[in-house]
């Protein structure tokens, strides 16, 4: 088997390139398609998923907000909430509005739903991975107001007015972001399950420390686990910055 690999001359990086893989869980074609679907018009999407069911109001230009129950439209989140609380006082969920990857959303959420559940099940942001769901593996890391945060430990109901960036939000052009490109170039990825969390932690580190030392990188990634044993490549990829 080793001899066959030598003859082929195909590195893991070349294989990932041929497969069209973008670090974070989407292919270039998929990202291009999703971006082509964007528009400046307000859009309302109602999604029912079990578990958990999430009703979502989405606006790429945030020109209006729509009540997910009766469909009435309002120009501000405050007006929508006032209407929602007055007309639907017995609703079994709370309306929470926050920003995800530069777009404003209003979610109807239950008190026990985590941010990771809402992002994955409500917005289909599957680059974010649910691993241990206990804040011990780092796979679900997002940037919350610019700070790397385990989204499995944050309740969606706490998110009012806040800003979230997932791995999908690092680039909306179909090309890799600088951090993703560095992971690709240095083969700092194996199965890829933990990679989005590492990338978001790396992005958070580099945004405040452009030239991290080995100790800086180890500290920033200390809450993350790589079951494939590729952690040394990830650490080396970040030492000294991009």
Q: What pLDDT, on the 0 to 100 scale, is given for residue 99?
A: 93
Question: Which ranges constitute the DSSP H helices of 58-177?
Answer: 77-87, 115-117, 123
196 phi, psi to nearest 5 deg: -55, -40
- Take residue 24 and report the two structure tokens written for it: 């974070």
229: left (phi over 0), alpha (psi -120 to 50) or beta: left
DSSP 84: H
* Full set of structural domains in the chain with CATH: 2-32+172-238 (1.10.150.120), 38-170 (3.10.20.30)
81: left (phi over 0), alpha (psi -120 to 50) or beta: alpha
pLDDT tens for 182-201 read: 999 999 988 989 999 999 99
pTM of the model: 0.68
Q: What pLDDT, on the 0 to 100 scale, is given for residue 12?
A: 46
The CB-side HSE value for 161 (13 A sphere, CA atoms) comes to 2
Give the mean pLDDT per block of 10 residues along the chain (242 residues): 44 44 35 33 37 43 67 81 80 85 88 94 92 92 96 94 95 90 92 94 96 96 91 93 89
pLDDT tens for 77-108 read: 788 878 888 887 767 778 898 999 999 888 88
Q: What pLDDT, on the 0 to 100 scale, is given for residue 89?
A: 75
Whose CA is closest to 93, among 76, 72, 116, 68? 68
- Take residue 16 and report the two structure tokens written for it: 């990932």
Secondary structure element (H or E) that encloses residue 172, with its range? none
Q: What pLDDT, on the 0 to 100 scale, is given for residue 185?
A: 94
């Amino acid at each position: 088997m080793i001899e066959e690999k030598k003859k082929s001359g195909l590195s893991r990086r070349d294989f990932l390139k041929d497969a069209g893989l973008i670090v974070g869980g989407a292919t270039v074609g998929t990202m291009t398609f999703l971006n082509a679907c964007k528009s400046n018009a307000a859009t309302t999407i109602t999604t029912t998923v079990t578990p958990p069911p999430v009703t979502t109001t989405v606006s790429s230009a945030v020109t209006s907000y729509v009540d997910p129950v009766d469909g009435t439209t309002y120009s501000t989140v405050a007006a929508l909430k006032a209407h929602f609380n007055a007309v639907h006082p017995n609703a079994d969920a709370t309306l929470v509005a926050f920003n995800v990857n530069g777009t404003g959303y209003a979610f109807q959420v239950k008190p026990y739903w985590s941010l990771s559940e809402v992002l994955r099940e409500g917005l289909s942001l599957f680059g974010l991975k649910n691993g241990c769901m206990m804040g011990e593996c780092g796979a679900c890391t997002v940037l919350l107001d610019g700070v790397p945060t385990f989204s499995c430990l944050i309740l969606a109901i706490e998110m009012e007015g806040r800003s979230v960036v997932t791995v999908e939000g690092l680039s909306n052009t179909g090309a890799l972001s600088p951090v993703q490109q560095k992971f690709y170039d240095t083969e700092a990825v194996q199965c890829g399950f933990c990679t989005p969390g590492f990338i978001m932690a790396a992005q958070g580190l580099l945004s405040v420390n452009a030239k991290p030392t080995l100790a800086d990188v180890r500290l920033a990634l200390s809450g993350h686990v790589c079951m494939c044993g590729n952690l040394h490549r990830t650490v080396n990829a970040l030492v000294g910055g991009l």
